[in-house]
Structure 1
Amino acid sequence: MRMTFPFTLSARLAGGAAVLALVTAGVVATRALAQDPARLLAAPAEAAGSWACEEPFAAEPGPAFDPAAARLIASLLLSAQETALGIRTDQMDAWRGYTTALIALLPSGDRLARWTDETKRAEAQAFDLAQDIAGAAIERGEKARALQDAVSNLKAVLTPEQMGMARQMQKRLVERIVRYVDWRAGEGAGMPL
């Protein structure tokens, strides 16, 4: 008898993890930056439908996301996906390589901290910003290459059944990402996921 509950639950959890990874990597943020924030704040509450709040949200400055929380959530969701896929002991090294590389690709916020701290910013030398941007790009490229290698290693040890399940999870994830991006752009109704 085929068990469908863990697959459905794991697909949702894996979908959430991947959405989180892509959002923090900037896929969704890039599209959101193109929107006019003033227009978004001025939109009537009726446009939000049943999700509207009685009081509008205050537009207070704050961090866009918490890197530590993002890594924790991604770790929890990947752990659930590990269980749903039925990763065996002999597959564990490849799975850990994959999850470590994926989580390492999430931004840590360390480079940004230098420029948000007033004292450190005042100590910056000419062209330090350009060097930090270049360093971050090089570091990100190396982490992306490590993730590609980890994915190749993982695919080599998974069974056809596990690959099929991972493919279904990916399909649902992509559908959720598209709904989320459309929702952020104001093209979708209701909650995105």
Structure 2
Amino acid sequence: MRLLSTKASLRTVLGGALAAGALAALALPALGVVHLRADPLGGGFREAGPCDVPAFGPGMPAFDGTMARLVAGALLSAQETALGITPDQMEAWRAYTGALIAFIPTGERVGRWTDRKTREEAAAFDLVDDITSSAIERAEKAKTLQAAADALKAKLTPGQLDMVKQMQSRLVERVVRFVEWRRGEGWGTPL
């Protein structure tokens, strides 16, 4: 007997995953978890205290690779449950999720350029070398992700593929609304 429709189940699972990710993002600094944060003008990385949480707005960091990986992991775990990944699909699923999380940039290469001393010690064309090396690494990771996605598509049932399509559509809608909001183009509908 089905207690909830597929659409309602999907909303419940994804909503719970988003709420868990948001709760983790807000709770870790409040609980006193110490983290490192780049200080682009002051000279490298510094330890941040429990109350040293950036405000939303122009001063907010553009990207936090660790948080992005945490949120992606939570969403992928919820998606695994919602899709009903079976044991015979697990190897392809794990290859896909691992490749997807590996594809998310870490921001580590920026550290060299935010530290005044290492920035001053950089040789000619070091920036170009870092940028091109990063692009080549990302291209390799993209190829791995694409192959993993193709292998997973071959393992999923038509019903699971349809559910992935629905999830993808909702995710894209939310990302577009978030981008519009960040640009100041209006809220549209609530996230």
Q: TM-score, normalised by structure 1?
A: 0.70
Greater helix fraction, Structure 1 or Structure 2: 1
Q: Partners of 1:175 and 1:154 in 2: how far apart? A: 24
What does the per-residue CA deviation read over 1:135-156, in whole Å, with 9 as the maximum and x for residues that have no partner?
Answer: 1111111111111111100000
- Give the match for residue 131 of structure 2: 133
- Give the match for residue 64 of structure 1: 62
**Letter of the structure 2 residue corresponding to residue 153 of structure 1:** A
Q: TM-score, normalised by structure 2?
A: 0.71
- Give the match for residue 28 of structure 1: none
Local SS of the residue matching 1:151: helix
Greater strand fraction, Structure 1 or Structure 2: 2
Q: Partners of 1:14 and 1:109 in 2: how far apart? A: 24
Task: List aligned pairs for 1:8-157, cutoff 5 A.
Answer: 8-12=11-15, 61=59, 63-157=61-155
**Letter of the structure 2 residue corresponding to residue 75 of structure 1:** G
What does the per-residue CA deviation read over 1:25-51, in whole Å, with 9 as the maximum and x for residues that have no partner?
Answer: xxxxxxxxxxxxxxxxxxxxxxxxxxx
What's the CA shift for 1:66? Answer: 2.2
Residues 1:7 and 2:7 aligned together = no
**Letter of the structure 2 residue corresponding to residue 86 of structure 1:** G
Q: What's the RMSD between the two structures over aligned residues?
A: 2.5
**Letter of the structure 2 residue corresponding to residue 147 of structure 1:** L
What does the per-residue CA deviation read over 1:81-135, in whole Å, with 9 as the maximum and x for residues that have no partner?
Answer: 1111111111111111111111111111111111111222122111000010111
Equivalent pairs, count: 153
Greater length-normalized contact order (CA 8 Å, ≥ 6 residues apart): 1
**Letter of the structure 1 residue corresponding to residue 151 of structure 2:** N
Q: 1:172 aligns with which of 170, 173, 185?
A: 170
Q: Moved runs in structure 1, 4+ residues, more than 4 A?
A: 11-16, 57-62
Report percent identity of matched pairs. 57
**Letter of the structure 2 residue corresponding to residue 79 of structure 1:** S
Judged with a 3 Å threshold, the aligned counterparts in structure 2 of structure 1 residues 8 and 167 are, in CA distance, closer, same or farther, namely same
Judged with a 3 Å threshold, the aligned counterparts in structure 2 of structure 1 residues 14 and 146 are, in CA distance, closer, same or farther, namely farther
Preserved CA contact (<8 Å) 2:177 2:187: no
- Give the match for residue 41 of structure 2: none
Preserved CA contact (<8 Å) 1:11 1:168: no
User: What runs of 5+ residues in structure 1 fail to find an aligned partner?
Assistant: 17-56
User: What runs of 5+ residues in structure 2 fail to find an aligned partner?
Assistant: 20-54
What does the per-residue CA deviation read over 1:55-92, in whole Å, with 9 as the maximum and x for residues that have no partner?
Answer: xx697856333221221121111111111111111111
Once structures 1 and 2 are overlaid, which stretch shifts more, 7-16 or 169-178? 7-16
